[in-house]
Amino acid sequence: MALSREDEAKISEVVSVLRRSRSILFITGAGVSADSGLPTYRGVGGLYGDEDAADGIPVEMAMAGRMLTISPEITWKHLSRIEQASRGARFNRAHEVIAEMERHFERVWVLTQNVDGFHRQAGSRNVIDIHGDCHELSCMGCEYHLTVRDYSGLEIPPRCPECGSVIRPDVVLFGEQLPIEKVRTLKEQLRNGFDCIFTVGTTSVFPYIAEPVISAKFGGIPTIEINPGVTEVSFAVDIRIRAGAAETLDAIWKRYRGE
């Protein structure tokens, strides 16, 4: 879909901001992976569907850390169903542009809620995947760890070959705490400061996702939102482009480079 004339004018504003910037924070959500064919699920990491889980169990219960502990077959049933629906997808132009910007600017970080791993696959190195990566699996009973391309071939639930305990994906399930190290990294980078902040493809419903944008706004740091819909931070951003992530970021990057 072509960008509107209004959006084109806003892209020029964004380019002006980028020309004055050396450090950038991208905050991304499920909308960034929409052009890869992944649904913009609600919930942690864009991982969970809007409908109740099968068997009459609400999705918040089926995909909760407690359920994984007491009935891992239920949680893994839905994890594998969701992973299978996304199997074969790959990163898109939005991920590529962010990775290219990281190589161009002095300092670029990505705070993503997505668990698909696409930012790193596209080449970004400074990634805080605050909700984890569904391709990384760990044993709940010992230190066994493995990386998988997809969940095909896994028994449900998968068991550790060393101790027999259930293996889980390294993602934050409902009711679980955010990883301490990743929260620490986020706080450290925010203390270092950024010259501008992008919020892309996220409704910003979680406080730790909205807070950097709100703080930047009131701190005089330029904020840019790329999202077709209205979000929790739309009222606060300086520049709001109501369009898709891939086409918008590509257009911004091309104009910045004079293409």
Cα separation, 218 vs 213, whole angstroms: 9
Which active-site residues does the annotation give? 131
Asked whether the bond before 158 is cis by omega within 30 degrees of 0, the reply is no
Contact 62, 80 (CB under 8 A): no
Cα separation, 34 vs 128, whole angstroms: 20
Which residues, at least 6 apart from 200, have a Cβ–Cβ distance to it below 8 Å?
A: 26, 27, 28, 29, 31, 32, 94, 225, 226, 227, 245, 249
Tell me the pLDDT of the chain averaged across its residues: 92
DSSP class per residue in 72-127: HHHHHHHHHHHHHHHTT----HHHHHHHHHHHHSSEEEEEE---S-HHHHHT--SE
All domains in the chain, ordered by first residue:
5-38+90-131+177-256 (3.40.50.1220), 44-88+135-171 (3.30.1600.10)
Which residues, at least 6 apart from 133, have a Cβ–Cβ distance to it below 8 Å?
A: 115, 116, 117, 120, 169, 170, 171
pLDDT at position 46 over 90: no
Which residues, at least 6 apart from 230, have a Cβ–Cβ distance to it below 8 Å?
A: none
Cα separation, 107 vs 103, whole angstroms: 9
pLDDT at position 34 over 60: yes
pTM of the entire structure? Answer: 0.93
Q: 59-68, 77-86, 200-209 — which is least confidently predicted?
A: 77-86
The pLDDT, as a whole number, for residue 87 is 85
The pLDDT, as a whole number, for residue 4 is 82
User: What confidence category does residue 29 fall into, taking pLDDT thresholds of 50, 70 and 90?
Assistant: very high
pLDDT tens per residue, range 69-102: 999 999 999 888 888 878 889 999 999 999 999 9
The pLDDT, as a whole number, for residue 85 is 77
Bridge partners, residue 42, by sequence: 48
Helix (H, G, I), strand (E, B), or coil: what is residue 222?
coil
pLDDT at position 48 over 90: no
Bridge partners, residue 15, by sequence: none
Which residues, at least 6 apart from 203, have a Cβ–Cβ distance to it below 8 Å?
A: 29, 227, 229, 231, 232
The pLDDT, as a whole number, for residue 64 is 93
pLDDT at position 42 over 60: no
